[in-house]
Structure 1
Amino acid sequence: MRKLSYTLFILWVSFVCPSCHNLGKTDSQTLPTELFSDGDLAFRRGTGFMSRIVVAADKNGTYSHVGILKKMEGEWHVIHAVPGEPEFKGDPDRVKIEPLTRFFSPERAVCGEIVRWGKDSLAAARAAQTALLMVQRGILFDHDYNLSDSSQMYCTELIEFAYRKEGIDLSEGRITHMDLPVVRGTYLLPSDLLLNKHLKTIYDFP
């Protein structure tokens, strides 16, 4: 019975999974970078199977991953906690910083959105600085998805943590309970953040 449930779940993810507008890819060179600010949030729907699981299981969501923008040496970067994207052999899953063009590359994103905390731009910029500190400290990815322990972090946990340092509660207490064949537990999903009414869209694609 468990094997049958798992098989049905895989079929459901493959064929019923909610989609971005038309699953188009972005040309990263066309990003309107002049519109962006430190602390803006970058949401994306990934290309992998786990991304499909997250989106399929999230009744409110389009996206499977999120990071925070920080301008470094004249180029926009994204700070995010991510598994399975090593930069070199032996690179552990961790909080990392990479160019926005790579974060939104066709190999990693089928759609995406940049949103802004609309109430305090200085607080948002400080949140980005807090996230950068997590990179510098070498914080590892939280494979246990434990929100009560900040010694390791997953993507939404990092964003929630950085903004909460500024007294901003992005999730407003929202949290998602999953009970699926391959995913069981309580998680802070991208949609739990994106539903905050004080976030406004700066750019999205496709």
Structure 2
Amino acid sequence: MMFKSIFIWGTIGVCCTLFAPSCKDQERGHAIDLPVDKFHEGDIVFRRGMGLTSQIVLAADSKGTYSHIGILKQIDNNWYVIHAVPGEPDYKGDADRVKIDDLYRFFAPDRASRGAVMRVDGDSQAAQRAAQSALSLFEAGVLFDHDYNLTDTTQMYCTELVNYVFQKEGIDLSEGRLSHINIPGLGGTYLLPNDIAQNQKLQIIYSF
């Protein structure tokens, strides 16, 4: 929707002014040491980003800690995050889409000021299947949903992706929670990371 896109970019400018220190490239120190032996496939990863989109999410959800979310998948003994994200191309001309990133890259100091790995209490096999479903969406080249339309699963944004693959396994992460945003030009109903993080069945495995 072009009308919404125009307002989004206008809001980005406002947020960059309000959160100027976060919009600049800053030295954040060395990469973190992750306890990867504690992680399971299907664990949910959260991060608080420093990018412009993250600042918009945090401005819209003052009670939320995190601005982005993905799901863990192990491939060849390495951990990866499958997530839907805008503005992080892997190459020139790369479209905003569902992508797969090394876990350390996902939590890189220039991408995450805070982060967490959480696990749904219950069926671990269901979580593994959810991770496999997310991988299938990546392999299918599903694009990022810039309209943030939860009724259309042909394109997805980050929380929509994670909620969707768990819903396929009969697990309702959001439990019906949605956030109603009144920022000019961005008014509407969205599924934000905090709507999922509030689920009492989520156990924190690691956080920083």
What residue number does 2:5 align with?
Answer: none
How far 1:59 moved relative to its partner? 3.2
List gaps (5 residues or longer) in structure 1. 1-5, 18-23
Q: Give CA deviations for 1:93-130 in whole Å, capped at 9, x if unaligned.
A: 00011100000001111110000001111111110000
What residue number does 1:3 align with?
Answer: none
List gaps (5 residues or longer) in structure 2. 1-10
| Deviation larger for 53-62 or 112-121 | 53-62
How far 1:11 moved relative to its partner? 8.4
Q: Does the CA-based 8 Å contact 2:42-2:119 persist in structure 1?
A: yes
Matched, 1:195 2:201: no
SS at 1:147's partner residue? coil
SS at 2:169's partner residue? coil
Letter in structure 2 aligned against 1:170: L
Cα distance between partner residues in 2 of 1:146 and 1:40: 25
Q: Give CA deviations for 1:132-171 in whole Å, capped at 9, x if unaligned.
A: 0000111000000000000000000000100000000000
Cα distance between partner residues in 1 of 2:159 and 2:58: 14
Pick from 15, 19, 23: which aligns with 1:14? Answer: 19
SS at 2:19's partner residue? helix
Pick from 104, 107, 111: which aligns with 1:108? Answer: 111
How far 1:185 moved relative to its partner? 1.3
What residue number does 1:96 align with?
Answer: 99
Q: Does the CA-based 8 Å contact 2:16-2:52 persist in structure 1?
A: no
Cα distance between partner residues in 2 of 1:98 and 1:11: 26
Judged with a 3 Å threshold, the aligned counterparts in structure 2 of structure 1 residues 86 and 193 are, in CA distance, closer, same or farther, namely same
Q: Any runs of at least 4 consecutive aligned residues in structure 1 with deviations exceeding 6 A, and if so which?
A: none
Q: Does the CA-based 8 Å contact 1:82-1:93 persist in structure 2?
A: yes
How far 1:41 moved relative to its partner? 0.6
Pick from 30, 34, 42: which aligns with 1:31? Answer: 34
Q: TM-score, with normalisation over the residues of structure 2?
A: 0.87
- The alignment of Structure 1 onto Structure 2 pairs a total of residues equal to 195
Q: TM-score, with normalisation over the residues of structure 1?
A: 0.87
